[in-house]
Each structure stands twice: as structure tokens, then as C-alpha cells.
Amino acid sequence: MKLISVQYGDFEEIEHLNPNFQKNFLKLKLTLDMLSPKEIYIENFPRLMFTLIEALPNLRYHQCSHGEKRHLKREYDPSHLISPIKIIGDVIDTVHLLEHTILELQCQISEMDVCSGLTCNYWEPENRFDVFVECTEPNIAIFSSNVAIAALKNIIYNTNDFDLPSLSDTVAIAKQIYSRGITDADELAGALQWSKPKVQSEIKRLDRFNFPFQILQPAA
């Protein structure tokens, strides 16, 4: 899973593909290449999905339009009983789950009430995908994307890019800094009931994934 590019804008050409997109939100566009054989993603998807839902329980309540309008005569899709997304049985399932993970992280950190996304695949090359995520603060969306990509890599490949059990800690401290405006290490330790060394360690992790500390600096 390789991040090729990141763009920010209206992307009006994809508005019709998701009726939940809001006119007052811009979008972050991530272009990714999925570099492993498709069997790797398909075989690991169930473990990936359940591990992420365990780390981010709110994922199970996500709703997905699937880029479709209502189909009144369609039979109920049983995959929704266990998955927040429609399971197709291909590489796009993993990328689509990445989209929802980014949305969940962003919404928790910046306390967005509503946020939608879209995953699209390329005809050529077949392993390339675009992920669109609505956002009000692109820097938080980029940070959420970096964390989500690292988390998925950790689960699929057992890498050391991200310590998944601490994902909730990453969200908690990011929320305190971004939404609550707390930047002092001692104050953060008190608010989170953590030790100061743990706070300092988590701040280093935030910096590693490009958390936008600069947005908290007062104007000159």
C-alpha cells in the first residue's frame, strides 16, 4: 500500500457518485497503489476488518451508500450484519475500509458530526485507487490518513509502523490538543490521567504522522 499523491479541492466531477456529499465541504483526495497480489488483501480482509472494529468500535455504525440510490426491490445484503461496508471480495474492500478508518479518525479528533467519503478504482493500472474524504481541516484529514495507512499496514503485514493497541491513545491526545487547545505536557498528563513520559512519547508519535501542531500557534 503506497501513497502516490495527496490533493485538496472541490472535485465536483465525483459529487454525483455519493449523494451524501455536502456542498460546504472540500475533499482530500488520496491516490494509492496496492502493491501486493490481490490474494493477500482478500485473505487478510476479515482479520483486518474485525481488528479495526475492535480498535475503533464506532466503525460498526458507519453507513455506506455504495455510490447507489435506493433500490426498493433489492434483497437485503447480509454482509451489513458484520461489516460497515459492502464486501465485494476484491482489493477494493481493503481500500474502502481504509476510507472509513480515515473518516472515523478525523471525526473523532476534529469532532465532525457528519462526514462522507468515496473510493474509486482505476481501469489502468488496476491496482490504483482514489479515496475522497470530506474535511473541514485538511491537515487533520492528512494526519488521519497517515495514521490509518500505517494501522492497516500493521495488520496486513505485521509491520512495526504503528502500535495498533495504542490507536485509542493517539486519538485521545490528538483530540485534547486539537479540539481542546491543550498543548502543555503537564496539563495533557492531567487531562488524560497519563504519566508525563507517556504524553511525551505520544507527542513524538503525533509528530511522526504529521499532526498539525502549527494550527495551535497564536497569530503574531
For residues 127 and 195, membership in a common domain is answered with no
What would the pLDDT profile of 203-213 be if each residue is shown by its tens digit?
Answer: 998 999 999 88
Q: How far is it, in rounded angstroms, from Cα 115 to Cα 124?
A: 29
Cβ 125 vs Cβ 7: under 8 Å = no
For residues 147 and 174, membership in a common domain is answered with no
For residues 126 and 170, membership in a common domain is answered with no
For residues 53 and 124, membership in a common domain is answered with yes
User: Which pLDDT belongs to residue 60?
Assistant: 84
Q: Own/partner pairs for 15-22, CB < 8 Å, 24+ apart?
A: 17/67, 17/118, 17/120, 18/65, 18/67, 18/116, 18/117, 18/118, 19/65, 19/69, 20/65, 20/116, 21/116, 21/118, 21/134, 22/114, 22/116, 22/134
Q: How far is it, in rounded angstroms, from Cα 19 to Cα 215?
A: 31
Average pLDDT over every residue of 17-26? 88
Is the pLDDT reported for residue 95 higher than 90?
Answer: yes
Is the pLDDT reported for residue 214 higher than 70?
Answer: no
For residues 217 and 202, membership in a common domain is answered with yes
Q: Which amino acid is at 111?
A: E
Q: How far is it, in rounded angstroms, from Cα 9 to Cα 7?
A: 7
For residues 170 and 196, membership in a common domain is answered with yes
3-state DSSP assignment of residue 119: strand
Cβ 119 vs Cβ 67: under 8 Å = no
Chain mean pLDDT for the chain? 84
What would the pLDDT profile of 135-169 be if each residue is shown by its tens digit?
Answer: 988 999 999 999 999 999 989 987 665 666 678 89
For residues 141 and 179, membership in a common domain is answered with no
For residues 35 and 131, membership in a common domain is answered with yes
Average pLDDT over every residue of 86-102? 91
User: Which pLDDT belongs to residue 42?
Assistant: 93
For residues 55 and 133, membership in a common domain is answered with yes
Is the pLDDT reported for residue 121 higher than 80?
Answer: yes
For residues 98 and 186, membership in a common domain is answered with no
For residues 142 and 119, membership in a common domain is answered with yes
What would the pLDDT profile of 29-64 be if each residue is shown by its tens digit?
Answer: 999 999 999 999 999 998 899 889 888 988 888 877
Domain boundary among 113, 131, 161: 161
For residues 48 and 147, membership in a common domain is answered with yes
For the beta sheet containing 26-33, the strands, ordered from the edge strand earlier in sequence to the opposite edge, are 2-9, 26-33, 128-135, 117-121
3-state DSSP assignment of residue 220: coil
Is the pLDDT reported for residue 77 higher than 80?
Answer: no
Is the pLDDT reported for residue 217 higher than 50?
Answer: no
Cβ 106 vs Cβ 133: under 8 Å = yes
- What contacts 87, CB < 8 A, 6 or more positions away? 45, 79, 93
Structural domain including 208 reads 163-220
Of residues 76, 93, 92, the one with CA closest to residue 84: 93
Number of domains the chain contains: 2
